[in-house]
Amino acid sequence: MYRLHTYPDSPVMLRRLLFAIAVGVLAALAVALFRHAMLALEWVFLSNDSGSLVNAADGLPWWRRLITPAIGGLAAGTLLYCWQWYTRQRPHAPTDYMEVLESESSEFDVSSSLIKSFASLLVVASGSAIGREGAMILLSALAASFLARRFTAKEEWKLWIACGAAAGMASAYHAPLAGSLFIAEILFGTLMLASLGPVVIAAVTALLTTSLLNGGPTLLYEVKLTAPVHGVDYLLMLATGLLAGFCGPFFIWLMSASHRLFVYLKLSPPLQLAAGGLAVGLLSLLTPDVWGNGYSVVQHFLQLPPPFAVVAGIFICKLLAVLASSGSGAPGGVFTPTLFMGMATGMLFASLCALWLPGYGDIAVLLGLSGMATLLAATTHAPIMSSLMICEMTGQYSLLPGLLLACVIASVLSRTLRRNSIYH
């Protein structure tokens, strides 16, 4: 695991903090560029300007809903396959920021990373159940690397790539503290102030830049809890943490099994991604909610929790869609889909609790948020980041004590059952 050196002197630290501001601005612009490119593709190919892939799917005839994710997967797979054939004779550097931080060279394969990001744009805009934020964070790290290679020494490149990744996450999720701790807990593996200072500055700058571009600060999810958190609520949150501690390793196992299944089929990359997209298209005939990364469904559920049968049906369909998309190798992240899985798990548990506890609506929202945080902690093994992320995205900071306890329980239990996290 990568560690930075000892605490630098004041002039060096000041220079790093100023450079971190530049990295934050550049990362926010990279995220905005990807987001607008996705909206443009949705408008051109789906005639949708709502920003919601679920709305786009709902407005399409059944046959277009069926084939659109498959076409997007086929296009992305063909692009990746052709690029691999074109570059088969040359050595390859990493195309993932986590791999770069673990490598000796601290360098991206820039052209391959850009192709990978464009392929992710194709599958995301065509409805595959994969997260767009993975490509956003990759582009932010690429932008930071581009800046660092021209203006800093090589021994600092990993720091600026980490700052770019944190800034991209902060811009995508409106969560600068969680983005910083994502780097600290998962990539650095420690909370070193010399490392964390520039990371925090870059993340906060990215959020401020994003707010400026969006016309003002906004929460990612609008949530209203009508009742304060009491003792019984804390017990329910801890119980949700225990449940997530079992579900997290199972979810990771399912993703690995799905990937092994697609490998066993021995399809070419274009056909493999098309098969994953076709599976999403078939599931979308049952419910259009399987399209996209799950953001709009999470927002809808948190505002008006549906009954048990509705949550269970969409949960099963969405889980299969995520497994099909990720298992087929669709480029993108599973961060936001994991948030949906956690929310649905928490709300299903809340439905059972409501059999003997009054006020299903408040319980469902509370345990939905708890499920989002705890399943994220169980799959990433980063409990502090997971707790803060939910609070930052929703503004519900009163839940932080309970979420911290529940996330630690989920993370410890998950690590006991399965040593490796989803990022292994």
**Model confidence pLDDT, tens digit, residues 289-343:** 999 888 889 999 999 999 999 999 999 999 999 999 999 988 888 888 999 999 9
In whole angstroms, what is the distance from residue 67 CA to residue 69 CA?
6
Q: Residue 206 above 90 pLDDT?
A: yes
Q: Which residues pair with 131 in a beta bridge?
A: 333
Q: From the CB of residue 352, how many other CB atoms can be counted at a distance below 10 Å?
A: 11
Walk me through the domains of the chain, giving residue ranges and CATH numbers.
Answer: 10-214 (1.10.3080.10), 231-417 (1.10.3080.10)
> Would you give the DSSP letter of residue 187?
I
Per-residue pLDDT tens over the stretch 369-406: 999 999 999 999 989 899 999 999 999 988 999 999 99
What pLDDT score was predicted for residue 36?
94
Predicted TM-score (pTM) of the model is 0.86
Q: How far is the C-alpha of 122 from the C-alpha of 127, rounded, in Å?
A: 9
Instruction: Report residue 53 as tokens.
Output: 């892939």
Report the pLDDT value the prediction gives residue 192, as an integer from 0 to 100.
Answer: 53
193-214 and 157-173 are packed helices; what angle lies between their axes, rounded to 10 degrees?
40
Q: Which pLDDT band holds residue 231 (cuts at 50, 70, 90)?
A: confident
The tokens of 366 are what? 């509370």
| Residue 186's pLDDT band (cuts 50, 70, 90) | low
Q: Which residue has the tokens 């990362």?
A: 27
Cα–Cα nearest to 217, from 226, 227, 207: 207
Number of helices (H) and strands (E), helices first, in the chain?
17, 0
Helix pair 133-151, 10-46: axis angle to 10 deg: 140
The CA-to-CA distance between both ends of the chain, in Å, stands at 12
Q: Say which amino acid occupies 182.
A: F
Burial of 304 (0-12, 13-18, 19+ CB in 10 A): exposed
